[in-house]
Homo-oligomer: A and B are copies of this chain.
Amino acid sequence: MRSFLFVPGIRPERFAKALACGADAVIVDLEDAVGAADKGPARQHVADAAAAFAASTTRVLLRINGFGTPWFEGDLSLLALGGIDGVVLPKAESATVLEALARVTTKPILPIVESALGVWQVLEVAKGPGVERLIFGSVDFELDLDCSGTWEALLYARSQIVLASRVAGLLAPVDGVTVALDDAAQLATDASRGRSLGFGGKLCIHPKQVAQVNAAFSPSEEELAKAREVIEAFERAGGGAVSVDGRMVDLPILLKARRQLAVVGCESSGEEGRVVTGSDCADEPRIS
């Protein structure tokens, strides 16, 4: 699970393309991309498309309207649809709403942390019932804090979200959008820095962002080659610390190398019970 592509609930003509563009998950949006007058029609489009969602191999998530809005309750009825694989909850700030949500659905919940309070209380959110992984809503967070969208301004929030996700034993979180639609270099930088911090994937706002995000959150050939080199050097040495290309390699580095190869399905990481970041492997089934 690397790319999470938004599609507005009010644009049913785009659903098929979104499902077919290579995204690991499609998030059908009932919230910000749908005006107040369109909330009802958007729900109907989702209901109408449920069979197509169910037939697709792409995961389909539904972003409902936030708790406290006039639409929250009504949106919940859509969660029972067979084609909906999980729910994206905006403005998550505490465990309370998650508990309410977990009472009406057993599907995975992906809370969006996108406010100062949400970041401050992120561990409570992460430990809420039914939570699969967190999403960082960077643009809303920027609005709430009245800060800029630079990496420096958002580093604390991003770091805290990654840390709390791991403390709570969740899957690696999903980083926020890159709003530049035609700037491949910006997207590449953002995706790479997000992955470097420990994010496992990234929100996309256009199908053309998907392939780049998938690539950035998958191990590169170079990384895999290095991981193999580390493992072989360890096996040759029979354990202990070894030197590979002038770098000291000891147990944690060996374990990380094993995990990288395990993610692409080529090795057992030996980490039973540990949550691993989903990624893909050329010509092999993807591991969730």
- Contact (Cβ within 8 A) B152 A120: no
Q: Is A92 engaged at the interface, CB distance under 8 Å to the other chain?
A: no
A246 near B143 (CB under 8 angstroms)? no
With A35-B240, A250-B32 as contacts: A164 and B120 at CB distance below 8 Å: yes
CB < 8 Å neighbour of A119 from B163, B172, B183, B250? B163
- Chain A interface size range: 35 or more
How far, in whole Å, are A239 and B42 apart by their CA atoms in the complex?
A: 15
The answer to whether B10 and A181 touch across the interface, beta carbons within 8 angstroms, is: no
- Pairwise interchain contact B147-A33, C-beta atoms closer than 8 A: no
Q: Knowing that A32-B241, A147-B196 are A-B contacts, what are 19 other residue pairs whose CB atoms are under 8 Å apart, sorted by A's residue number? A: A8-B241, A33-B250, A35-B240, A117-B167, A119-B163, A120-B164, A140-B252, A143-B255, A145-B198, A146-B200, A148-B195, A153-B198, A155-B155, A156-B159, A156-B160, A157-B159, A179-B247, A180-B246, A181-B246
Q: Is A221 an interface residue, CB under 8 A from the partner?
A: no
In the complex, chain A residues 131-180 whose Cβ is within 8 Å of any chain B Cβ: 139-140, 142-148, 150-153, 155-157, 159-160, 162-164, 166-167, 172, 177, 179-180
**A contact set with B: CB distance below 8 Å:** 8, 10, 32-35, 116-117, 119-120, 123, 139-140, 142-148, 150-153, 155-157, 159-160, 162-164, 166-167, 172, 177, 179-183, 193, 195-198, 200, 205-206, 238-241, 243, 246-253, 255-256, 259, 277
